[in-house]
Amino acid sequence: MAPIVSVSNLSKTYASGFEALKGVSLDIEEGEILALLGPNGAGKTTLISIICGIVNPSGGEVTVNGYDVVREFRETRAMIGLVPQELTTDAFETVWNTVSFSRGLHGRKPDPTHIEKVLKDLSLWDKKDNVLRELSGGMKRRVLIAKALSHEPRVLFLDEPTAGVDVSLRKSMWEVVERLRASGVTIILTTHYIEEAEEIADRIAVINGGEILLVEEKAALMTKLGRKQLRVDLAQPIEEVPQTLLSYKLSLEENGQCLIYDYDTSAERTGITALLAALAEAGIRLRDISTRQSSLEDIFVEIVEAGQ
């Protein structure tokens, strides 16, 4: 199946001369949730803005469902919904009008039933007659999401949708995202809450310095790069790691009370059995052992640091 969004060799140099994207290529499959992760200034918003037709590319090509985002702007715009990172709303317009008007802007006929459903899904129904300046920050963000959903897009971009949003609203927003996915909508999101990406995304792309460092199925990424840590609590503190154990590259922590052993879950041998035997041989008695699986956050930090 052809990808719904295809980005090829995309570059962007801003008027200031800053090169924000350096030859980015990325295919997004219909119906998937792709999380775009990267530190501040990585180029996430620039990439999304070009796909959505808000920023012009300096080079390369982007198509949405086969239509070019520059030459066939009208077609691509109708298919795309964008929840922008920056809050820009018309302070004196009502919630209902803002969201209904947005549908019209995307060339769709009025559909009050759909607008009502969107507002109810986002718990904005009781605010529909309020003007935007009367809403809280989190509610304004929900209005941006409602606007993006007003014209029933096939591809939805969420640029930091949960920044400044409280925990319960974040949960309900992700439920909306899940429902959209179930209805076949393709979703591309950026977030700095990596645990959210870990929970919701099918694939993860990591971008830094205007370059895609990695695109991978989340599950594969977790096992491929997933490391585990074995923590050994000692019955008695030790001053240094014994000579016979140097090959394990252990780190001695917590005033000599605890040894940490990093190992690779995909390695043929983790070395744990041999390590425990060597500890016994060295006369070190254990109080407890536990393991910890690295999270997507650890993996992310590792990739970004390795790329620098």
Interface size with ligand ATP, residues (CB under 6 A): 13
- DSSP, residue by residue, 190-231: E-S-HHHHHHH-SEEEEEETTEEEEEEEHHHHHHHH-EEEEE
Pairing of strands 227-234, 186-190: unpaired
Residue 202 contacts residue 30 (beta carbons within 8 Å): no
Classified as helix, coil or strand, 289 is strand
- A 10 A CB-CB count for 254 gives 12
What are the CB-based long-range contacts (under 8 Å, 24+) for 114-123? 114/150, 114/152, 115/150, 118/146, 118/149, 118/150, 119/95, 119/146, 121/149, 121/176, 121/179, 122/146, 122/172, 122/173, 122/176, 123/169, 123/172
Site string for Mg ion, 70-109 (x = CB under 5 A): ---------------x------------------------
Q: How far is the CB of 48 from Mg ion (least distance, A)?
A: 8
Under the criterion CB under 6 A, does residue 14 sit at the interface with ligand ATP? yes
Query: Residues 7, 33, 37, 45: which binds ligand ATP (CB under 6 A)?
Result: 45
Closest chain position to Mg ion (CB): 45
Query: Residues 5, 46, 65, 77: which binds ligand ATP (CB under 6 A)?
Result: 46
Q: Of these partners, ligand ATP, Mg ion, none, which one is at the site of residue 110 (CB under 5 to 8 Å by kind)?
A: none
Under the criterion CB under 5 A, does residue 45 sit at the interface with Mg ion? yes
Q: Which is nearer to ligand ATP, 42 or 64 (CB)?
A: 42
Query: Residues 13, 58, 85, 294: which binds ligand ATP (CB under 6 A)?
Result: 85
Output DSSP code: residue 131. B
Under the criterion CB under 6 A, does residue 40 sit at the interface with ligand ATP? yes
Q: How far is the CB of 39 from Mg ion (least distance, A)?
A: 10
Q: Of these partners, ligand ATP, Mg ion, none, which one is at the site of residue 18 (CB under 5 to 8 Å by kind)?
A: ligand ATP
Under the criterion CB under 6 A, does residue 44 sit at the interface with ligand ATP? yes
Q: Of these partners, Mg ion, ligand ATP, none, which one is at the site of residue 73 (CB under 5 to 8 Å by kind)?
A: none
Q: Which is nearer to ligand ATP, 206 or 275 (CB)?
A: 206
Q: Of these partners, ligand ATP, Mg ion, none, which one is at the site of residue 234 (CB under 5 to 8 Å by kind)?
A: none
Residues 232-251 that bind Mg ion (CB under 5 A): none
Under the criterion CB under 6 A, does residue 66 sit at the interface with ligand ATP? no
Return d(Cα 288, Cα 294) in angstroms, integer: 20
Q: Which two tokens stand for residue 137?
A: 């920050």
Query: Residues 25, 27, 41, 137: which binds ligand ATP (CB under 6 A)?
Result: 41
Under the criterion CB under 6 A, does residue 57 sit at the interface with ligand ATP? no
Please measure the distance between the N-terminal and C-terminal CA atoms of the chain and give it in whole angstroms. Answer: 35
Query: C-alpha dihedral over 59, 2, 197, 172, to 10 degrees?
Result: 110
- The residues pairing with 263 across neighbouring beta strands, listed in sequence order, are 228
Q: Tell me the window of 23-31, 34-42, 149-157, 235-243 that interacts with ligand ATP (CB under 6 A).
A: 34-42
**Buried residues in 66-97 as b, exposed as e (16+ CB within 10 A):** ebebeeeeebbbbbbbbbbbeeebeeeebbbe
Residues that bind Mg ion (CB under 5 A): 44-45, 85
Residues that bind ligand ATP (CB under 6 A): 14, 16, 18, 20, 38, 40-46, 85
